[in-house]
Amino acid sequence: MSNLLGSKYRVQIFGQSHSPMIGCVIEGIPAGIVPDMSAISAFMARRAPGQSATATARREADAPQIVSGLNERGETCGAPLCALIANADQRSRDYDALRDVPRPGHADYTAWVKYAGHNDIRGGGQFSGRLTAPLCFAGALALQLLAERGIRVRARVHSIAGIRDAGVDFAHPPMNAISDGPLPTLDPEAARRMTEAILAAKAAGDSVGGVVECFATGLPAGLGEPMFDGMENRVARAIFGIPAVRGVEFGLGFAAADLTGSRHNDAYRVQDGRIVTDTNRHGGALGGITSGMPLVVRAAFKPTPSIALEQRSVSLGNRENAPLTVQGRHDPCVVPRAVPCVEAAVACAVYDLILEG
């Protein structure tokens, strides 16, 4: 059911954009871990709103408070860990008009149908990107646990508004070359042009989309299950939990469909006693099971549906056409803030698989 991710590292997310709190309950954390709160906060700050000109003006400290799951020494004790995040800067009045006139491209209408009009319309309710804050908490903790095993997860902006970052060698992802800051890329010039495109869209009352690419290195071979619980199934399920994702692909992804087998297969080779592939078009998993090569996954994000331009919509109450001009504060592009969200989703899925053994 809806907000539960994972089987052994199991994350239950709750909250709405304007509920008093949002948060998560995590089961399956090994006992004896001291959560690195400064690392977690730093990770969550990458997702937090109000930090750059390309993001929404809503400001949230997003300081998670752990209210269960730790013993008196601050170590995980085997009990479910609950982390709470307060919703502070709510401007619910911005949303009154949306109760009757749903925003195109949003879940306003589908939630209205599903919940018979009782859905929480304020700020998008449970469909808000704000729900990725607890996902990032869970992901940051997973990253800490993965790091202990030599596993790293890092994502970058692959493209925004059609502007692409530099290409990479999937067999050797440039984990350290990805820039920090609000728009992580390899090529600073690409980041600059992407920022321009975002600001231009914002100025036009419009929005843009993009693609996030994520790498995980240090994975052992042999993780994952055949058919429906493979690495791809699980990572895709997690990533599609982030709002605005329209597609997920691994390795070469859709580009693989245009190749021949002889050009797509990654030849095996023995290197220092280990079996590796020189290329990594398969993206780190074969038959749903990790190969020991880096995991490579991309997620396509649609342009933010909340735009300032007037749009055509309907009045749900009157069942008639009605124009709509969306109020409120919105990201003209969700992609920069989606980068840590994708890392979090991948980290949760990968750590879950590791615990499954």
In the range 329-348, which residues lie near a copy of itself by CB under 8 A? Answer: none
The nearest distance, CB 222 to a copy of itself, in angstroms, is: 4
Buried b (16+ CB within 10 A) or exposed e, 18-46: bbeebbbbbbbbeeebebeeeebbebbeb
Question: How far, in whole angstroms, is CA 273 from its chain's centroid?
Answer: 36
In the range 126-185, which residues lie near a copy of itself by CB under 8 A? Answer: 126-127, 131, 159-162
Nearer to a copy of itself, 42 or 117 (CB): 117
Task: Find the largest Cα–Cα distance for the chain.
Answer: 71
Which residue type occupies 245? V
Which residue type occupies 215? F
The nearest distance, CB 176 to a copy of itself, in angstroms, is: 26
The nearest distance, CB 4 to a copy of itself, in angstroms, is: 6
Among 3, 41, 52, 327, binds a copy of itself (CB under 8 A): 3
User: Quick one: which segment of 5-13, 56-64, 138-146, 181-189 binds a copy of itself (CB under 8 A)?
Assistant: 5-13
Between CA 277 and CA 271 the distance in angstroms is 9
Q: For 105, left (φ over 0), alpha (ψ -120 to 50), or beta?
A: left
User: Quick one: which segment of 36-44, 124-132, 145-153, 184-192 binds a copy of itself (CB under 8 A)?
Assistant: 124-132
The nearest distance, CB 300 to a copy of itself, in angstroms, is: 4
The nearest distance, CB 282 to a copy of itself, in angstroms, is: 7
Can you give 82-126 as a three-state secondary structure string? EEEEECCCCCHHHHHHHHCCCCCCCCHHHHHHHCCCCCCCHHHHH
Which residue type occupies 81? L
In the range 62-121, which residues lie near a copy of itself by CB under 8 A? Answer: 65, 67-72, 75-82, 84, 92, 102, 104-107, 109-111, 113-121
Can residue 57 be called a binding residue for a copy of itself (CB under 8 A)? no
Can residue 241 be called a binding residue for a copy of itself (CB under 8 A)? yes
Can residue 246 be called a binding residue for a copy of itself (CB under 8 A)? yes
The nearest distance, CB 202 to a copy of itself, in angstroms, is: 11
Here's the x/- map for a copy of itself, 197-236, by CB under 8 A: it reads as ----x----xxxxxx---------xxxxxxxxxx-xx--x
Residue 197: partners with Cβ closer than 8 Å, 6 or more residues away: 160, 161, 163, 208
